[in-house]
């Protein structure tokens, strides 16, 4: 036996629907699978656009009417469980410590500083200038210049 959803006389709370598209006037059209509804005109508290078609939505209902949905916002996917330790930023006015398990990248335009877990440090830029008011040392197992 196949059960088909029935339209309730009143819709209280929040339902999850999908943005189906837009009508000729640019109004949102939504589906509400729980109620068996599709292509229902809806108002929205935030602007919607074509890139969001197919996205799940949180829907409220004007006056509790299931045929008068209001888009409260896009649903955000639940974060994936991570095994790694989350990145951490500590700031005490004297020092900033950024910690990551695999890589830290600081970028501004064409310039980048990349620190990798395996000990590599990459400094990239169009022009790189180094100044020292005291001794400037370059140490390494081997040093290649050009």
Q: Is residue 36 a contact partner of residue 4, using CB atoms and an 8 Å limit? A: yes
Question: For 90-130, how does the pLDDT look when each residue is reduced to its tens digit (9 = 90+)?
Answer: 566 667 777 788 889 898 989 999 999 999 999 999 998 98
Domains assigned to the chain: 15-74 (2.40.50), 88-124 (no CATH)
Prediction pTM value: 0.51
Nearest to 69 by CA among 91, 101, 38, 99: 38
pLDDT in tens, 18-48: 999 999 999 999 999 988 899 999 999 999 9
Which CA distances in Å does 111 have to 96, 123, 132? Answer: 20, 8, 20
Q: Tens digits of per-residue pLDDT, 38-91?
A: 999 999 999 998 889 999 999 999 999 999 999 999 998 766 555 555 555 556
């Amino acid at each position: 036996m196949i059960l088909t959803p029935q339209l309730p006389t009143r819709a209280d709370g929040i339902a999850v629907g999908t943005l189906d598209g837009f009508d000729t006037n640019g109004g949102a059209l939504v589906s509400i699978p729980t109620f068996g509804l599709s292509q229902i005109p809806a108002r929205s508290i935030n602007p919607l656009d074509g890139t969001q078609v197919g996205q799940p939505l949180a829907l409220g209902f004007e006056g509790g009417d299931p045929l008068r949905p209001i888009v409260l916002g896009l649903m955000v996917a639940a974060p994936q469980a991570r095994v790694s330790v989350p990145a951490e930023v500590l700031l005490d006015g004297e020092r900033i410590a950024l910690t990551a398990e695999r890589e830290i990248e600081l970028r501004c335009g064409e310039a980048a500083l990349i620190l990798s877990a395996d000990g590599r440090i990459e400094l990239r830029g169009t022009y790189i200038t180094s100044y020292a008011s005291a001794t400037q040392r370059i140490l390494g197992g081997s040093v290649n210049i050009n």
